[in-house]
Chains A and B, each alone.
Chain A
Amino acid sequence: MRDEQQLDRVPPAEPPAVPDPDHDPSGRRQFLKKLGGSAALAVTGAAAVTSLQAEPEANEQVEPDVQYGMLIDLRRCIGCQACSIACKSEAYLPLGVFCNGTASTEKGHYPHVSRSFLPRLCNHCSTPHCTRVCPTGATYKRPQDGIVVVDQGICIGCLYCAQACPYTVRFLNPVTRFADKCDFCAHRVSQGVVPSCVNTCQGRARIFGDLNDPESEISKMIATNPVTVLRRAMGTEPNVYYIDVDFADENLKRPGEYVRVTTHQGSRKKRG
């Protein structure tokens, strides 16, 4: 099945082209929807209470029709960093910042040693923490395809989203001066092409597709393989899945155990 994957496989659903007509930074539409809900409450009384309670809160995300996701099969990852470079050239990222960085973990004592890799990118979570702290509404989850994007016309670069992200994948773009992150190559995906990192992956470790479509390759792979997500306990419901992650952690190692994790955020003295 894996070898049949086409390099430029067209994703199953055709999302609308950017700019996004559904962007609602001020919550006006949701507010109007709520007003409508309150009016219904006044008219129909108790019967409407349950329907109103079932309605999602403002800023909480509604389930998108298409939820793009990624599955990274680390059994096929060789840590070549081609995805990091393809991402940087695709997104015109300056030196020192990464939308997609590949961490590597070394562990064990000779001769019982191993090395594993972990490409990290935005998880395009179903309940993102970054969007709910954004003071301007510049970052939001696109309702048509579930991609979390930053509206560069509104973002003020306060980096509150970078504090709120449990995956530390947000950063201040030093050239454009606003918060930047992986957007699943929304410009490519909206034209029916897979993201740049998927396209370039030498080991074909990355699968991109619609998680809501049970017939898509990614859904089938997730259903038929033991998959994990990163930091499930943070409650973000991430949409980037991994096969065969080594969860060895420098902070949780036993005495005498050797674990060393090298990341692109190495210059930042940060645990976890």
Chain B
Amino acid sequence: MWTWPIYGYLFLAGTGAGATAISAVVLMRGAGGAFGPRYFDVARLGAMIGPLPVIIGTGFLIFELGRPFRAFNIMTSNFWFMPLNPSPMNFGGWMLLPFGIFGVLYMFCFMPWSRWLPGVRGNLLDAWSTKLRGPLAMIMVPLSVATAIYTAVLLGAVPARPLWNSPVMWALFTVSAFSTGIAAIMLGQRLTYRANGDREAERHFHNSGYALTVADLVLIAFELMIIALFFMAAYFSYGDVRYAIQVFLSGGEMAGLFWVGLVGIGLLVPFCIEAFFVLRKMRTGSFRVPYAVEIVTPLAILVGGFILRYVIVIGGQITGPVGL
């Protein structure tokens, strides 16, 4: 039975990969994008939030192994002829290793080196950081998208788990990864921003909050749609898939957590809150959101992302092929 290390990893890696991807895209887009002069702060936040959870989650995965010290067998026992091993875990190992290396480098490129190491060394590190940021961002975009997708491919590759073995599930995990990544950046931005009376800076802060909220709104809408499609497809199917989906239907073991925790708290509540403020901005032109709401909305999205991983991992394992 796969338990907390697996869904812990899926959540941490999804959120981290989403935040890293957003950060890299925002950095490459530059000041001309939706974030205006605040683009660098958003990119830095994503770079600080992103890579570490992925590495911690990978640590969970290694901890979960029966023989943790053999973890590198995933790559080394197939080292020279890797493409011939179709196992998704092999693919994931080759994805997570460069993500860890380049992700940490990418994170280091945003550190205030000259403030920590006054003098020549700090200045040198700052110069390198400025030079390396762009190329690293270009590497991080495909790497983090692949890491976000891999969380679902790992589950989807086994026909003996009919709940997981669905392309819709892959889309759901990927969209949820970006949604939770944006939520993490929103939360970080709210917690690190200090109003200092500068009206122009405050306007830019609200503008970047608006850009993140709109992106998140679209992703949550997609997520709701994918869940609806998944239910339609499974409900009108037969056999294994039809019986597997019953854990989420009325009377199923995971129904309450799925509908209240994920669809309610994790998706519909943040969707309504975000839609309200986005629509008000469209009407009145101002995007001023109360502090508590700006904290609670991303938190609800993150909790929903965790519940999604939990119900899918556990629900997939307590259902199986029906019949002897």
**Using a CB–CB distance below 8 Å, which chain A residues touch chain B?**
25-28, 30-31, 58-59, 118, 129, 132-138, 154-160, 163-166, 168, 172-173, 177-179, 230-231, 233-235, 245, 247, 249, 251-252, 268-272
Q: Closest B residue to A232 by CB, please name it.
A: B323
Which B residues are CB-close (under 8 A) to A164?
A: 157-160
A26 CA to B66 CA, complexed, in Å: 21
Asked whether B73 lies within 8 Å of A154 as measured between CB atoms, the reply is yes
Asked whether A272 lies within 8 Å of B321 as measured between CB atoms, the reply is yes
Asked whether A166 lies within 8 Å of B160 as measured between CB atoms, the reply is yes
A260 CA to B89 CA, complexed, in Å: 37
Asked whether A249 lies within 8 Å of B84 as measured between CB atoms, the reply is no
Which A residues are CB-close (under 8 A) to B70?
A: 154-157
A165 CA to B220 CA, complexed, in Å: 34
Which B residues are CB-close (under 8 A) to A269?
A: 253, 318
Asked whether A156 lies within 8 Å of B319 as measured between CB atoms, the reply is no
Q: Closest A residue to B77 by CB, please name it.
A: A136
Total of A-B residue pairs, C-beta within 8 Å = 145
Asked whether B324 lies within 8 Å of A27 as measured between CB atoms, the reply is no
Which B residues are CB-close (under 8 A) to A134?
A: 87
**Using a CB–CB distance below 8 Å, which chain B residues touch chain A?**
1-2, 64-67, 70-71, 73-74, 77-81, 84-90, 93, 157-161, 239-240, 243, 253, 317-324
The contact of A136 among B78, B88, B243, by CB within 8 Å, is: B78
Which B residues are CB-close (under 8 A) to A272?
A: 240, 243, 319-323
Which A residues are CB-close (under 8 A) to B80?
A: 26, 28, 31
Asked whether B78 lies within 8 Å of A133 as measured between CB atoms, the reply is no
Asked whether B324 lies within 8 Å of A129 as measured between CB atoms, the reply is no
Of residues A59, A164, A272, which shows the largest number of chain B Cβ atoms within 10 Å of its Cβ?
A: A272
Asked whether B77 lies within 8 Å of A137 as measured between CB atoms, the reply is yes
Asked whether B84 lies within 8 Å of A156 as measured between CB atoms, the reply is no
Other A-B contacts than A247-B324, A271-B322, 10 sampled, CB-CB below 8 A, are A26-B80, A58-B85, A59-B86, A133-B157, A135-B85, A135-B88, A137-B78, A159-B66, A179-B66, A272-B319
Q: Closest A residue to B66 by CB, please name it.
A: A157
Asked whether A135 lies within 8 Å of B158 as measured between CB atoms, the reply is no
Q: Closest B residue to A246 by CB, please name it.
A: B324
Asked whether B2 lies within 8 Å of A156 as measured between CB atoms, the reply is no
Chain B at the A interface: SS class? loop
A59 CA to B82 CA, complexed, in Å: 12
13 contacts between A and B (CB under 8 A): A26-B81, A27-B81, A135-B74, A135-B87, A156-B65, A156-B67, A156-B74, A231-B321, A247-B324, A251-B243, A251-B323, A271-B243, A271-B319
Asked whether B1 lies within 8 Å of A249 as measured between CB atoms, the reply is no
A48 CB to nearest chain B CB (Å): 20
A163 CA to B162 CA, complexed, in Å: 11
Which B residues are CB-close (under 8 A) to A132?
A: 86-87
Asked whether B243 lies within 8 Å of A26 as measured between CB atoms, the reply is no
A159 CA to B319 CA, complexed, in Å: 17
Asked whether A234 lies within 8 Å of B321 as measured between CB atoms, the reply is yes
A163 CA to B319 CA, complexed, in Å: 11
Of residues A26, A28, A235, A245, which shows the largest number of chain B Cβ atoms within 10 Å of its Cβ?
A: A26
Asked whether B159 lies within 8 Å of A235 as measured between CB atoms, the reply is yes
Asked whether B158 lies within 8 Å of A129 as measured between CB atoms, the reply is yes
Which A residues are CB-close (under 8 A) to B74?
A: 135-136, 156, 158
Q: A270-B317, A272-B321 in contact; A160/B161 too (CB < 8 A)?
A: no
The 7 A-B residue pairs with the shortest CB-CB distance, nearest first, are A157-B66, A135-B89, A272-B320, A27-B84, A177-B66, A166-B160, A58-B84
Q: A136-B73, A157-B67 in contact; A25/B78 too (CB < 8 A)?
A: yes
Q: A26-B79, A156-B67, A164-B160 in contact; A247/B87 too (CB < 8 A)?
A: no
Q: Closest B residue to A34 by CB, please name it.
A: B84
Q: A154-B77, A179-B66 in contact; A231/B323 too (CB < 8 A)?
A: yes
Asked whether B78 lies within 8 Å of A249 as measured between CB atoms, the reply is no
Q: Closest B residue to A58 by CB, please name it.
A: B84
Asked whether A178 lies within 8 Å of B77 as measured between CB atoms, the reply is no
Asked whether A271 lies within 8 Å of B157 as measured between CB atoms, the reply is no
Asked whether B86 lies within 8 Å of A129 as measured between CB atoms, the reply is no
Which B residues are CB-close (under 8 A) to A268?
A: 1
A21 CB to nearest chain B CB (Å): 17
Asked whether B78 lies within 8 Å of A245 as measured between CB atoms, the reply is no
Which A residues are CB-close (under 8 A) to B253?
A: 269
A178 CA to B161 CA, complexed, in Å: 21
Q: A270-B320, A271-B318 in contact; A163/B2 too (CB < 8 A)?
A: yes
Q: Closest B residue to A165 by CB, please name it.
A: B160
B26 CB to nearest chain A CB (Å): 34
Which B residues are CB-close (under 8 A) to A118?
A: 324
